[in-house]
Structure 1
Amino acid sequence: MKGALALTFMSAYAALLVGSAIAAVTWTATPFNPASVPLAVRTPYLSAWLPQGSGTALNAAWPTFWTGSILGWAGFVKVDGTTFNFLGVPNVAGVTFQKAVQKSAKFTSTQSIFVLSAGPVDLTVTFLSPVEPTDLVKQSLPFSYVSLSAASTDGRAHSVQLYTDISAEWVSGDNSLGVNWSTTTGSTLVHQVQLQNPARYTEINDHTQYGSAYYATTNRAGTTFQTGPDVTLRAQFVNNGKLLNTQDTNFRAISDNWPVFAFAHDLGSITGASTPVVISVGHARDPAVQYIIANNGRQDRSLFFFSQFATARDAIISFTNDFANALSRANAFDTKVQNDASKISADYAAIVALSIRQALGATEITISKNSDGSFNTNDVLVFMKEISSDGNTNTVDVIFPAWPVLLYTNPALGKFLLAGLFEYQATGQYPNKWSVHDLGAHYPQAIGHNDGNDEAMPVEESGNMLIMALSYTQKTGDTSLIAKYTSLLDQWTQFLITDSLIPANQISTDDFAGPLANQTNLAIKGIIGIKAMSQIASLLGDTARASNYSSIASSFVTRWQTLALSSDKKHLTLSYGNSASWGLSYNLYADKLLKTNLFPASIYQMQTAWYKTVAQPFGVPLDTRHTYTKSDWEIWTAGIMTDNAARDLFISSVRKWAADGLSSQPLGDWYETTNGNPQGFRARPVVGGHLALLIL
């Protein structure tokens, strides 16, 4: 995770505020008002947010991509002839409309729900990004829903019409590029827009440069559509309450008279709550990922849903018509997460709910093709983009902090994430004796590092792979992964034996803090990695190897204790011999997760007492080199605390930071403990680590 690159995002912070009216919250916020609200978050390229700051209503800012670039998404509701804007901040010259007044905002694990008052009618706007981790077809669909329901608030009947559109900004990171589009009619209306000159596997400003954006709705009575310039279509609706069912064929640049793709729905006269109007939005591309195979070959991989749908258009039609069922499944998932996390605390449940869409939204589920062109659904690989830090593909030390969300929702997703890393290294193309750092420098290419010049984190990544492989096996009872890749796991263990007790000068996952020799916390990871291989060998019936590695790990712990304690025996050091130093010893979490019980209870008790004495207003610093921290590692550290007061200190600090209103970017994980200011990262999948307490 090249943290240095993330510093460039500091300058982008101001840009994220463009178009936002930062103000105090005037609505009911449940469970709290986050810096940015997830609207449509399913994949690295379907990632739409409401930049919220300290109080921005749904109609007081444009939705943005996770980077902060605008995604045109506008909405109006017409009530008894008076038009109100409820989504985005459209400027329509020559026509008048009012702003609906936001009354409430709520988020769950899968939904963001806004209620806005438009005169005598309340409009409920529900953004649903399904989380369906045990259904690979559904989880791989790169689509989200927005549903709109109106209800009279005065008991009288009111005439209501609805309008929404998206712009071509959804297909590129460069608004000067040319696009074309089409609309297909029938029982479902589908707008499709794409670049005129797509470039496979490329990005501009983190937006994909190929594939198509889709906007779809059921073609029920009273539904109209239109494509054309933003001002023209919005004025058409404001003046007439409907669209013309016409298509603009003047294909042009995204920013040339801003082509938009619109639907209008006439609800007629309503009194009680109307049947929801359902609209689907998404972005699909094929192939999705390029993967390295033996002999430096290249394999094109498709999203899993293509095994059931001939085209993305077919898929979004099916998706649109499945809304009622999808909502039911989402509500059940939300309830389960809420119940599980609330057993720890309400603050914890809120953090978890905000983290799940973001964590899984960095992943894509792929399959390869057989020689006859059919899809091989037995060859599943999941890919994860290292969002906002450096864009790598399947970065091991990004998968590792995100790992708890995978173990909680479906461990098989974790297996499929690791499989690509294992398969590549088993081909023998990666030359180093430790685990590779990532599968590719730039998503969505997973083309390896045959030169061995990936970012070197030898102890970090080797320990991570061993710990994740064992935890998957323990959680599922499936030994196929460890059986197939025993030799690689053993190779990495051999390396850890040489370099983990007294780690050479190197970087760890927190690379933005710089390299350091003799890292106490890094040594913990390496030692647990060795013990993990002992357990792996035991599961595979290799008792001699299991016994040997177990004794090595135990002897290392004994020696480590003489190196790692401060001179006053009150805390672990950051690095051996520096008694003034300390840090978050979050790697002890793996000792609890794997139930290896390598480290004595006294270590956990000592650290629990220590962290209470060094907490800042927004949490405990990552280490003594700086006063910033990482939210994922804070929650992992909460998992090793021996009393609830210390555990809850970490949880409440992360919740306080997430709700402090000092940022308007998607949930970050790197922030300043003294004042709660963000340090650069945003929208990263590592927030999956916030589920760490749910899997202990």
Structure 2
Amino acid sequence: MSQHFRPPAIPLVTVDPYFSVWSTADCLTDQHPTHWTNKRSSMTGLIRIDGQTRRFMGMTELAEGSDFQEPDALKQTNLEVTATSSKYRFEGDGIRLEVDFTTPLLLDDLELLSRPASYVTFRTQSIDGKSHDVNIYLDVTGEWCVNTPDQKIVWSRKAIGDGIDALRMGSEQQPVLQRVGDDVRIDWGFMYLAASKSESTRTAIQSYRLRNHFIESGHVSLPDDEHMPRAVEDDTPVMAVQFDFGAVNETMQSEYAVLAYDDIHSIEYFNQPLKAYWRRNGTSFEDMLAAAFSQYDEIIGKCEEFDRELRQESEDAGGSQYADILSLAYRQAISAHKLVVDENAEILFLSKECFSNGCIGTVDVSYPSIPLFLRYNSELVKGMMRPIFRYAASEQWPYEFAPHDVGCYPVANGQVYGENKLEYQMPIEECGNMLIMAAAVCLSEQNADFAEKHWELLTKWANYLIENGLDPNNQLCTDDFAGHLAHNANLSVKAIIGIGAYAILCRMLGKTEEMSRYSDTAKEMATQWIAMDEASDHYKLTFDSSEDTWSMKYNLVWDNLFGLGLFSGDVMAKEIPYYLAKQNRYGTPLDSRNTYTKSDWLVWCASMAPSKEDFAKMIAPLWYSLHESPSRVPLTDWYDTVTGKQIGFQNRTVVGGFYIQLLSPF
């Protein structure tokens, strides 16, 4: 890399939309870690070296305005963010400390992917040729298991098998699946901190002032707090573990802890509570946690191998800056989903539309995210689509076009967007999305059985696009923050490619006559589109707008990937130079109406560039937007290209779309 990458936020524990904690500072000691919603989820790390205590994570004091003197921070010397891990390195007082946060979201292993267990690994060694006495302290607060700190919690400890000491905390009331919304945190189930039992490992559940006790004494040797239930904000309880490394020399020594969350039930799906995928065969939480410990070495090895392979592949595809972006996006794109199975044991992979409206299973959030999942496990794309097919086929859905969502996370009982009023729907958008996604997953698997199972709906939606898609009326598209727009040229592209996608499915199912009819229709519509939208050196925002308007035609990417050939190569040959000419410091705006952009669409357009050099030119401003943005939040996909500031949205799954450059034509 030409210069070290500074992510706007660093994933620490990223399992699902509730179990998701980040660092939003340059150094891990600059502030408390936070939930992706920016609410504090304190986690503190202390190291005692030869009787002197230093901080390596978070802060000790919770009370704002306190004059408490924080222990000095151990100097952070490096940070590396890989696909599955965030790796910090610190040095001081004669030792080196490495702290790795690993969530093993390996897409080819759904059992592991859904396991709500994340690792914190500590490695330390002497770097001055001397032996040093080292103790490490880690804790998490009750903030991790409530929505607001005035809620009361209870706690306990449990021995799992002969070798695991597990501490747990959870809300007193346990309102399972009762809290619905966007800017909320889980307040049911139990948060765990677990470590292997040994003579050198100690655990405690106490007031957060246990941190001060360790600073002064080097031990967590206090009895467990018995004053419960109590509100999290009342002398905040923590679960803590201490690792006594003893005399540390030049040989690297390591220990690890597991942070885990038992959510009991994960999703309400058409009025039925569903458990997480890993529980589908009756596995208990204790057995899952025991497996996380017994498989530690194997899992870490697999993660490291995957991280290396992805890094190499992404550098080959788009350069080092592109590789940085993909590594940062990986865990976010996956962990804003929840993996469950329905009553037929079919996979459901349900997203949360984070800091947008909290919808669950949103079609136009799934659509931009699918490149990552097509690359590594297309079954998960089916898992995104099944809830929409089920709802659209029910009597609950009154329209002839595809729905937008199936509820508000974590309750998937039917669409909530726009109160289901017709004027707030996205008819062309969602029909096109579902058809393109269906073709993509069937081509990926070289099998169209999935489409055939839902053929009646797909046919209805393809016909809807033929009737309404060429020149869309005044309606919303996925970029709904920009408002309603009539005669939207990019939305028309989606409709045309959606019809072409349906023709592909017809071909795969041996429906030759239908294939020809829909293919010919798509070609005719594309020809009309070019005539209606062409300006001198680019294509316009809308068919009826002036020639100085423009927009990123990101939907055209599927014409390339599907090999449809609906739009002549001249279209993108004009568009890419135009996008480059319109670039600001942090990228090309979404369209001529504003200076903001959508990063997923920017990458899709870059992937259509005629050369690797042009791809890199379009990607570099995105890299700098992440590296320099003053908005310290999990990846936002909606930001200003002049200032680099977040406009809205964060932690959304759409960043899976960044992986589109890794897809080969189908």
Distance verdict in 2 for CA 1:138–1:403, change over 3 Å: same
1:237 aligns with 2:214: yes
1:429-449 CA deviation, whole Å, 9 max, x = no partner? 311110000111x10011113
After superposition, the Cα gap between the structure-2 partners of 1:560 and 1:664, relative to the gap in structure 1 and judged at 3 Å, is same
> Alpha-carbon deviations, 1:209-264, whole Å to 9, x = none?
21111111111221111111111x11222233222263212111001100000111
Deviation at 1:562, TM superposition (A): 1.2
Q: Distance in 1 between matches of 2:452 and 2:222?
A: 59
Distance 1:380 1:31 in 2: 39
Residue of 285, 288, 293 corresponding to 1:320? 293
**Alignment partner of 1:432 is 2:399:** yes
Which residue of the other structure, out of 169, 190, 204, is the alignment partner of 1:193?
169
Please give the alpha-carbon distance, in whole angstroms, between the structure 2 residues aligned to 1:466 and 1:178.
47
Pair 1:175 & 2:145 matched: no
Matched, 1:249 2:226: yes
In 2, Cα distance between equivalents of 1:674 and 1:244: 54
- Amino acid in the other structure paired with 2:493: I
Query: Quick check: 2:580–2:618 contact (8 Å CA) kept in 1?
Result: no
The 8 Å contact of residues 126 and 251 in structure 2, kept in 1 or not, is answered as yes
1:145-294 alignment to 2 at 5 Å?
145-185=119-159, 186-201=162-177, 202-203=179-180, 205-231=183-209, 233-244=210-221, 246-251=223-228, 252-292=230-270
Aligned equivalents of 2:216, 2:420: Cα separation in 1: 63
Mapping of residues 555-634 of structure 1, within 5 Å: 555-566=524-535, 569-578=536-545, 579-634=547-602
Please report how far the alpha carbon of residue 95 of structure 1 lies from its aligned counterpart in structure 2 after TM superposition: 8.4
Q: Post-superposition shift, 1:284?
A: 2.5
Q: Please tell me the residue identity of whatever aligns with 2:201.
A: T
Aligned residue for 2:253, secondary structure, equals: coil
By how many angstroms is 1:198 displaced? 2.0
Matched, 1:514 2:487: no
Query: CA separation in 2, counterparts of 1:674 and 1:398?
Result: 25
Cα 1:42–1:611 change in 2 (3 A) is: same
Distance 1:522 1:661, change over 3 A: closer
In the alignment, what sits opposite 1:3? none
1:249-298 deviation per Cα after TM superposition (whole angstroms, max 9, x unaligned): 21110011000001111111110244321111132312111112xxxxx2
Count how many residue pairs are aligned between Structure 1 and Structure 2. 650
Between stretches 101-110 and 203-212, larger displacement belongs to: 203-212
Paired-residue identity, % = 29
Contact 1:668/1:680 (8 A) holds in 2 = yes
Q: 1:463–1:525: 8 Å Cα contact kept in structure 2?
A: yes
Offset, 1:427: 3.0
Structure 1 residue 630 displacement after superposition: 0.8
Aligned residue for 1:494?
A: 463
Match of 2:32 in 1: 62
Distance in 2 of aligned mates of 1:515 and 1:95: 54
Letter of the structure 1 residue corresponding to residue 58 of structure 2: G
Q: Partners of 2:404 and 2:234 in 1: how far apart?
A: 42
1:447 aligns with: 413
Cα distance in 2 for partners of 1:264, 1:478 equals: 53
Q: Secondary structure at the match of 2:331?
A: helix
CA contact (8 A) 1:48 1:65 kept: yes
1:46 positional shift: 1.2
- List per-residue Cα deviations over 1:37-66 (Å, max 9, x = no partner): 1111111011111012xxx31111100001
Name the structure 2 match of 1:386. 353
Equivalent position of 2:43 in the other structure: 73
Distance 1:379 1:449, change over 3 A: same
1: distance between equivalents of 2:83 and 2:287? 27
Question: Where does structure 1 lack aligned partners over 5 or more consecutive residues?
Answer: 1-27, 293-297, 370-375
1:682 and 2:637 are equivalent in the alignment:
no
| Structure 2 gaps, min length 5 | none
Contact conserved, 1:662 with 1:677, CA < 8 A, in 2?
yes
Residue 179 of structure 1 contacts residue 194 of structure 1 at CA under 8 Å; is this kept in 2? yes
What secondary structure does 2:647 align onto?
coil
Aligned counterparts of 1:48 and 1:674: Cα–Cα separation in 2: 29
The letter of the residue matching 1:358 is Q
1:133 aligns with 2:113: no
- In structure 2, C-alpha distance between the alignment counterparts of 1:143 and 1:456, rounded to whole Å: 38
> Which residue is equivalent to 1:114?
88
Mapped pair 1:396 → 2:363:
yes
Contact 2:22 2:35 in 1 (8 A): yes
Root mean square deviation of aligned Cα: 1.8
* Cα distance between partner residues in 2 of 1:692 and 1:530: 21
Contact 1:145 1:279 in 2 (8 A): yes
Counterpart of 2:306 (choices 326, 333, 344) is 333
The alpha carbon displacement at 1:516 in A equals 0.6
Amino acid at match of 1:314: D
Mapping of 1:347-358 within 5 angstroms? Answer: 347-358=321-332
Alpha carbons 1:224, 1:245 under 8 Å: kept:
no
TM-score (norm 1): 0.91
Letter in 1 for 2:607: G
Residues 194-216 of structure 1: CA deviation (Å, up to 9, x unaligned): 10012222147420221111111
> Which amino acid in 1 is paired with 2:412?
A
> Residue 628 of structure 2: SS of its match in structure 1?
coil
The alpha carbon displacement at 1:644 in A equals: 3.2
Partners of 1:639 and 1:151 lie apart in 2 by 44
Amino acid at match of 1:548: R
Task: Tell me which residue corresponds to 1:14.
Answer: none
In 1: Cα distance, 2:577 partner to 2:612 partner:
12
The equivalent of 1:640 in structure 2 is 608
